Every structure is written in structure tokens, then in C-alpha cells.
């Protein structure tokens, strides 16, 4: 059965361009509940670790520089079929290929500065959520109880 959580970051470009509120509104309107959230700035080594899967790619150094250049907003989102539905909501990596109505279509600047990150699997959603949040920092649906 699909996990019901995914992990997102609003990337430095969208934070700098003043799109935090508009992106969070789209996330809520699409039926996701925010169960953990923090604004933080990644160090170079945190950005390298987070995107470590891409370390052999030609864009890796630029990506790390970009991701550590200004704050991000990190969040854990909850919804049925969260990973797949959130990838649909954010749209294609390259905003030129992103569909109308997607977050990247509306807010991405380029293939690198593409506004948001979204986990690509249930396993990565759990790993990435754990990269940013202790279990005591995420909350159940009523927003009060702390999860185990
Ligand atoms: P993310 O993991 O951030 O949600 P994604 O899964 O759509 O994005 P990945 O292939 O995992 O895409 O790439 C990670 C990030 O690296 C992209 O979101 C983008 O910021 C950057 N990136 C990917 N491809 C390129 C490229 N060809 N040139 C520059 N930057 C790129
Ligand atoms: Mg990815």
C-alpha cells in the first residue's frame, strides 16, 4: 500500500521571489495537510548530502551552490497516495515541460531553479523527512498530538 506522506522543499529561488505563501496555498488546495514545516538554510555539506544521488551529474556543483544560497522551506505533507500525487502537482523537472496548473509551471525560473522539490518514492520520502525533522516535530491530522 502506498505511504501517505511525502517531503517537499520550497527552493531558494521561490523563497527569494516571495512565493512561499502562494505555493503553500496550492499545496493545501490540492488536499495535502502540512504535518511538519521549517524555514532553514542548507549548508553546502547538507545540500551535497541531500542531493548525493546526483553527485556524478554535470549540474551537481551548481545545484549544491543554488540550494545553499538562501533559505528553503522544508515540509512533510500528508495525503492518500502522497508521493505520486505531489509529483503530479509540482510538474516536470524542466518547467518548459511542466503542465498548466502545476507549481513548477507557475513558479519555476529554470530547470535548476524549479521552485520546489518533491520526493520520488516512499522510501525517499521517509529518508528526506528524517533528514530535516525529528519524529517529535511532526503532528497528526488534528495538529495537536505528536507522532511516535
Ligand atoms: P527534485 O529532486 O528537486 O524534486 P526532480 O526529481 O524533478 O527534482 P532530479 O532529476 O531529481 O529532478 O534533479 C534534482 C534537481 O537538480 C532538479 O530539481 C533541478 O533543480 C536540478 N537539475 C536536474 N537536472 C538539471 C539540469 N539538466 N540542469 C540543471 N539543473 C538540473
Ligand atoms: Mg529528484
pLDDT (mean) for 10-25: 98
Q: With a 6 A CB cut-off, is 124 part of the ligand 1 pocket?
A: no
Note whether residue 19 is domain-resident: yes
For 122, the domain range is: 5-42+70-134
State the pLDDT at residue 1.
47
Q: With a 6 A CB cut-off, is 111 part of the ligand 1 pocket?
A: yes
Q: In angstroms, how far is the first alpha carbon of the chain from the final one? A: 21
pLDDT (mean) for 59-78: 98
SS (H, E, C) 36-76: EEEEECCCHHHHHHHCHHHCCCCCHHHHHHHHCCCCEEEEE
User: Which phi and psi angles does 136 have, rounded to 5°?
Assistant: -75, -5
Note whether residue 52 is domain-resident: no
Spatial distance between the Cα atoms of 58 and 64, rounded to a whole number of angstroms: 12
Note whether residue 58 is domain-resident: no
- Report how far ligand 1's centroid is from the alpha carbon of 111 (Å): 7
127 dihedral zone (left: phi>0; alpha: psi -120 to 50; beta): alpha
State the pLDDT at residue 139.
85
Sole residue written with cell 556524478: 56
In this predicted structure, the answer to whether residue 72 has a pLDDT above a threshold of 70 is yes
Spatial distance between the Cα atoms of 32 and 12, rounded to a whole number of angstroms: 22
Contact 68, 98 (CB under 8 A): no
Note whether residue 63 is domain-resident: no
- Report how far ligand 2's centroid is from the alpha carbon of 95 (Å): 14
pLDDT in tens, 103-121: 999 999 999 999 999 999 9
Q: Identify the band that residue 148 occupies on the pLDDT scale cut at 50, 70 and 90.
A: low
Looking at the structure of the chain, the number of domains it has is 1
- The grid coordinates listed for 52 are 548525493
- Report how far ligand 1's centroid is from the alpha carbon of 94 (Å): 8
Spatial distance between the Cα atoms of 76 and 36, rounded to a whole number of angstroms: 5
State the pLDDT at residue 124.
96
86: domain CATH number? 3.30.70.141
Q: From the candidates 117, 128, 132, 138, give the one annotated as an active-site residue.
A: 117
Q: Identify the band that residue 143 occupies on the pLDDT scale cut at 50, 70 and 90.
A: low
Task: Give the number of whichever ligand sits closest to the CA of residue 115.
Answer: 1
- The grid coordinates listed for 10 are 520550497
State the pLDDT at residue 146.
60
Amino acid at each position: 500500500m502506498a505511504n501517505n506522506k511525502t517531503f517537499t522543499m520550497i527552493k531558494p529561488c521561490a523563497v527569494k521571489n516571495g512565493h512561499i505563501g502562494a505555493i503553500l496555498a496550492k499545496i493545501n488546495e490540492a488536499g495535502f495537510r502540512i504535518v511538519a514545516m521549517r524555514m532553514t538554510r542548507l549548508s553546502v555539506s547538507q545540500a551535497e548530502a541531500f542531493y548525493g544521488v546526483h553527485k556524478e551529474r554535470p549540474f551537481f556543483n551548481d545545484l549544491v551552490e543554488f540550494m545553499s544560497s538562501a533559505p528553503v522551506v522544508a515540509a512533510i505533507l500528508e495525503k492518500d497516495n502522497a508521493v505520486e500525487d505531489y509529483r503530479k502537482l509540482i510538474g516536470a523537472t524542466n518547467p518548459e515541460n511542466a503542465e498548466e496548473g502545476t507549481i513548477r509551471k507557475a513558479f519555476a525560473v529554470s530547470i535548476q531553479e524549479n521552485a520546489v522539490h518533491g520526493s520520488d518514492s516512499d522510501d525517499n520520502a521517509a529518508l528526506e523527512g528524517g533528514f530535516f525533522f525529528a519524529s517529535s516535530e511532526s503532528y497528526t491530522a488534528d495538529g495537536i498530538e505528536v507522532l511516535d
